[in-house]
Chain A
Amino acid sequence: MTTYVDPSGRTVQLGRELGVGGQGAVYTVPNDAGVVAKIYLQPPDARATRKLDALVRAADPQLQSVSAWPQTLLRDPKGGVRGFLMPLVPSAEYHELHMLYRPGARKQHFPKADWRFLVHVARNVARAFAVLHARGHLMGDVSARNVMVSHQGVVRFIDTDSFQVQVGTEVFTCPVGTAEFTPPELQGKGFGTLVRDMNHDLFGLALLVFHLLFEGRHPYAGVHADGGTPSPAEAIAKDLFAYSLQRQAGVTPPPFTLTLKGLPEGLRTLFERAFAPTHAGRPTAVQWEAALAELFTHITTCAKNAAHQHDRRVSCPWCASLPSNAGAATAKTGVPGSAKRIDVEAELNRIWRTVQAVPVPTAPTQVPVTVRPAPLPLPALPPLDTPRSAFQVSSVLWGITNVVLALLSVQTGVWWLTLILVGFAWYSFSRNSAPVREKRRVAQLDQLKQRQHQTYAALLRQSLTQYQGEAQTLRQQLDQASRRLDAVGAPSKYRQAIHALEGLRTQLRLLELEEERQVRALLERHRKSALDVFLSKFVIAPGTVNGIGASLVATLHASGIRTAKDVTSNVRWVKGVGPKRQQDLQDWRETLEQFFQFDPAQVPRHEVEAVRARVEQQRAAQLRQLEGAVAQFVRDVLAWRQAEQTALQEIHALKVELAQREKTIDVIQSSPLALN
């Protein structure tokens, strides 16, 4: 083997050959595990040598982190450039990008990759292009084969010696291209000396991003209304972007694929721009990176199917795209209905109108006493005692006696005696004189009045005590009546009753779900047997599944595994089926299952009717129960109101009486007589 020397004069030993292509072969370098050597089959000519030199001079750590960029020229002992050293892209870790975006290959090489991973990789692709473009270099021959992706979702460019590089004013072109990644304006052109610009590379970048996001679909492959079957390159040349929402080009996306509607607005716009017939101003790598980073933060897992991931701002596009999912959706809505079905909501509405017509009881307000209470009659003033006569008969008798005695004393002649007796007589008679009599009468009247007042005051005190006692009794009665009113408790009873009715109503509505559940279970039973019939149409034949040849097919058939229907995890017990083939067989079955469409209309109508009829009976019974409960409720509410009314009337009456007593007490207490 020829030996090669690097620019510093050291000999570089080549190891194992890793691969050979049209231009050259790649070898390991035993002394340095991190690099490999590419040696050209034909020694590069002068211009190719200058390009390699330019590539090596343009190398920098960031370029080498995203690509297998030539880093050291290798010469033969005569000094002729024969190849170069570049960073190793380990083949155990890295695969060509199409091995990731093609679902069939992904299952094998990236079994754990989900859509989130694909978006992440698309973002890394954009980042790698951003590094390249920032330096003025172009991939030129953009293709999925020139982009390697690792299981960590890290991206590396390969075949970098074909890239278009610019050093100073000199441009080294990329002499090749891949037709299905070539922009429309370059279709059919020779690439040899063509100087590409960044806008051309950006078409390829958009295609790579599209393939990653759209499960390996080519944006220009669709169903053509004119019945044409162009190759992707022919479709690109005619600007037939199949997914455009802005333009109708007579081509629609393939059946059961994601569409632009499954992406957020920002990315939609970028794709429309990248594949627009204007061919100008395609989104840059930096713009793609930003939009994909934004999408990544919004990815959510579908609520219905954990295998689906999508932007949370749009409804799950995968559910909408796959027929198996569509089947699940129709099972909900496309179930044959029943003709004579009770309209539950209408019935509930009708019944509930009765419930709503019952006024909602409020907490009973203590009716205020509005009438001014008239005080009760007070005890009458006791009559004044009849005054005795003011005329004193005794004084007259005494006067007469004294006159007689005086007359008698005159006879005796004791004149001083006579005089004294006459004086006594005078005094006795003067006691009945008018002024004296008046004086005596007034004094007696005063005395009588005073006695009358004392009596009355005693009477008032007696009344006061009586009324106070009555008021006390009334307050007690009022208290009892209020408690009776509270015991009626219409509001709380109403709440309880409504709650119970609502419970019945909910039960009825749940019956709806129960019916759906039962019908769906029935459909599922039929779907499963239809699926079995469907799967049994796919006979395992040589080549059906990768690596399963005629002899293994015969063994499988002999073991009773003839069709996709028979493929279960049990296939692993068949001799010759390893874990790998078991997985492949099961993947095959799963793929077929995805394309199984089940029409719920196939389920015999009478079976669905039977389920519905059963639930219908329950529904009718529950409706009757609810109606009975509502009628009882109306009666109850009426009874509560009557009880409440009675209690309120009683309270009102008691209050009036109490108020009268209180007023009377007040009057008595404010009376001056009562103060004594």
Chain B
Amino acid sequence: MFDEETGATIPHIAEREISDEIAISVQELDVTYRTTFEKRPTLKQAVVRLGRGKRSVKTVEALKNVSFDVSRGSVLGIVGHNGAGKSTLMRAIAGIVPPTQGRIEVVGRTSTLLSLGVGFNRSLTGRENVILGGLAAGLTKDELEDRYDQIAEFADIGDFIDAPMSTYSSGMGARLAFSVAVHLDPDILLIDEALSTGDAVFKEKATQRMQELVNNSSTMLLISHALRTIINMSTECIWLDHGKLMMRGNPEEVVDAYTEYVHVKKTSATMNDM
């Protein structure tokens, strides 16, 4: 398989045996946000609002009645337009955002690689952020010390590892984030658009590492707008549209249905980045 945009080889990891145990069970999940249009809620605004007597609250139904199971060792691709609820779904499964309705059961340790990348504080160095991220994710200090060299080596950003993260390029940040996430030995790996900023060499390395994890019966959820990545990497695919689960099935069929629905031709541009 050949990625037309980057020239990297993307191996198929779809053909493999899948366990019959459930790793993630999402049951009738609703997630509703109530957001105000105020970007930063302040006491000042609250007082001003008191004078006007109204509050502009917008309810966003990010996910509506979504149910599915994921079996251990499978790779679930998630496609959908911007704002379809893909990232919210990931955050709910990771336990960061609480469900409004419904129930989520997750078996094992999850590791998240969400769109914002690694990091706590950009004025801290890469090394400090790796350690902080690892400790927050539940690793012990000893485990981290053992893995630190592997993480740094895999990210391959050289001396930048000891420079503040504010000096990183976006690609370097993404590489470090990916490296941390895959070295946490997760049972479940949640990846949100993680590979879009890496270069061709890193993409290939990342794909290989993901394959290793899946071979060790980790479960993976993958969000990508690069539809070819979804087809190549996932064993199964779901399509979200405005928070609703539209379709679930074979990745190729789901991607076909999705592209048809949004009326775009399956050109190489849309397949690589949509």
A and B part of one assembly: no
